[in-house]
Structure 1
């Protein structure tokens, strides 16, 4: 193949053999996507509308939920269309765009989890200087870079793959991944090796920072009952969401690197979808139920809505 322009579409072979239960899979996927929008929008709107929640922890959480919607938007609409179609293809540009959205969303998840860990570290270990350290200006800068860095790093990786000459167009997955597109290259370039390695190392550093901060937090919280309560209230859901995100991504990454061809296609698809199902649902649910401020406001809104329904005169409405 002389140049990259020969490849105009990619074939996604991950849905082969699903024709017998495609309708059921479509219904379950649509339900899952609706639940993702419902739970994330509930937390986002609750934080935006209530000024009491305009604090660093909740601002980071709001952006984490926005990122969940951003990432899933790169997968679910196309996947739902593929379930209704017999030809599972995606355009050249669309494939790179999907890969960019999914990769940058996964990276941004780690960025916001790092910010939340840093916020808890300052709040519990240095409470006297918390408000002077976590100012509105600093929070805005942190949020800006938490979006900018993942987008920039993934963009650089996508551009290097885009410029690579490809000798194939079949992707053995239900969505596009930069690493799998790179495997279709006619030859390996240094940039296609160095940039992904740098990105993986950079975000592994994020994981190490979170681990260090929580080891330090646990040591600090042992001496104080108040700090232990703070840790259980705000840090446990953060750790749980981090574990879910890391395990979901590891399943997918390990399978892409070392996966067995003997594994059923349905199991492969489930492993590939884990980080697009579990974190976007569990993150808002875990924080929504665990964080006291959000739970109180949601309960208050529910009670208020229930009273409005009870006082509504249906007879006057019908007449």
Structure 2
């Protein structure tokens, strides 16, 4: 039966696990990779958790902009926790297998994280549009309660959307169990199906369009309005717009590039690319973004930075 699984000729009724082929090149460097991964995960958890606590504890930061940032940092923790502990176990393991249901759970976690990230950044772009283009009406148009409602809608929309993907995956039967990746990926899993994945492919395409289009429309709308104000406004308005929008655009572009790397790797043959580079590119979207967001948003904002300095100086 074991060799039967290795050859990848089982159906979902007998298939209990997938084999991850991305760890074949780990070899003698496993302890080095483990140490690097553990340190990165530790830094991600400490930095993002610290900023979440700072925003939650200080009443002066209970404003829409910081509430959106808090949601962003929570999502960084959510996505990182769905990936890094799994990587640490797999790096030290001699048998790189993952149960079918845990694989589906990981897909659900990572895909909801991606959707929440894009939608959160879209809501933040709309918030910046109101702050720059409608400064006098901002406190009326974007209240604390409205910000909380936006966040709840973003998270619920993402969870419900990918519940459908999860239910479609569970009904599949599989003719193989070898996944050429470090973690579970929806497209790679669907490729192993011997039952007709037509419905999965159609909904996958529809879901991808929604993941891109739903956040993209408010982002384009917001930045068109911001650019119009910048060109017709004063120098002070342009400086405010640049300082406010630069972290947001940097984070948006960085995350988009990271997701593009994963999409390209899953759909095209990347055997000519060095294995180390393939590993970095496949982890980029949940490796760099959780480290970049606290730096770009948290520590560059004077209010958060001053509170952090005050806390550190008080402890010293």
TM-score range for the pair, normalised by the shorter chain length: over 0.9
Match of 1:284 in 2: 294
Provide the residue aligned with 1:243 in structure 2: 253
2:46 maps to which of 38, 60, 71? 38
1:11-43, Cα deviation, whole Å (9 max, x unpaired): 111010211211111100000001101110121
What CA distance in whole angstroms lies between the structure 2 residues aligned with 1:115 and 1:127? Answer: 17
The alpha carbon displacement at 1:67 in A equals 0.5
| Residue of structure 1 equivalent to 2:125 | 117
Deviates more, 1:188-197 or 1:22-31: 188-197
User: In structure 1, what is the equivalent of residue 222 of structure 2?
Assistant: 213
* Alpha-carbon distance in structure 2 between the residues aligned to 1:158 and 1:230: 43
Stretches of structure 1 lacking an aligned partner (at least 5 in a row): 307-319
Q: Give, in angstroms, the shift of residue 198 of structure 1.
A: 1.4
Equivalent residues of 1:166, 1:184 under 8 A apart: yes
CA shift for structure 1 position 5: 1.9
Distance 2:195 2:101 in 1: 21
1:130-166, CA deviations, whole angstroms, 9 ceiling, x for partnerless residues? 1222123322211111101111111211211111111
- Whole-Å separation in 1 of the counterparts to 2:272 and 2:71: 39
Deviation string for 1:157-216 (max 9, x for gaps)?
Answer: 121111111111111000001111101111433321221111111122112431332232
Partner Cα separation in structure 2 for residue 12 and residue 189 of structure 1: 21
**Structure-1-length-normalised TM-score:** 0.92
Residues 297 and 63 of structure 1: is their aligned pair in 2 closer, same or farther, counting only changes over 3 Å?
same
1:180 aligns with 2:195: no
Q: Which contiguous aligned blocks of 4+ residues in structure 1 show a shift greater than 6 angstroms?
A: none
2:235 to 222, 225, 228: 225
Whether the 8 Å contact between 1:12 and 1:170 is mirrored in structure 2 is yes
Choose 284-293 or 255-264, whichever is displaced more. 255-264
Q: Deviations over 1:50-84 (max 9, x none)?
A: 11111111101001000000011111111101111
In structure 1, what is the equivalent of residue 69 of structure 2? 61
8 Å contact 2:48–2:74 — kept in the other structure? yes
| 1:169 maps to 2:177 | yes
Q: Provide, for residues 226-269 of structure 1, a one-character-per-residue CA deviation record: whole Å limited to 9, x for no partner.
A: 32232233211011111110111111111211232222322221
CA distance, structure 1, for counterparts of residue 172 and residue 147 of structure 2: 38
In the TM superposition, what is the alpha-carbon distance from 1:2 to its structure 2 partner?
Answer: 8.0
1:259-298 Cα shifts (integer Å, max 9, x gaps): 3222232222111100111111100111122212111111
| Structure 2 equivalent of residue 86 of structure 1 | 94
Distance in 1 between the 2:298 and 2:180 partners? Answer: 37
Give the alignment partner of residue 165 of structure 2, picking from 139, 157, 162. Answer: 157
What's the counterpart of residue 273 of structure 1? 283
C-alpha distance in structure 2 between counterparts of 1:2 and 1:172, whole Å: 17
Structure 1 vs Structure 2 CA RMSD: 1.5
Q: Indicate if the aligned counterparts of 1:165 and 1:186 stay in contact, CA closer than 8 A.
A: yes
Tell me the CA shift for residue 3 of structure 1.
Answer: 4.7
Q: 1:139 aligns with which of 117, 128, 147?
A: 147
Q: Does the 8 A contact of 2:262 with 2:282 survive in 1?
A: yes
* 2:309 paired residue number: 299
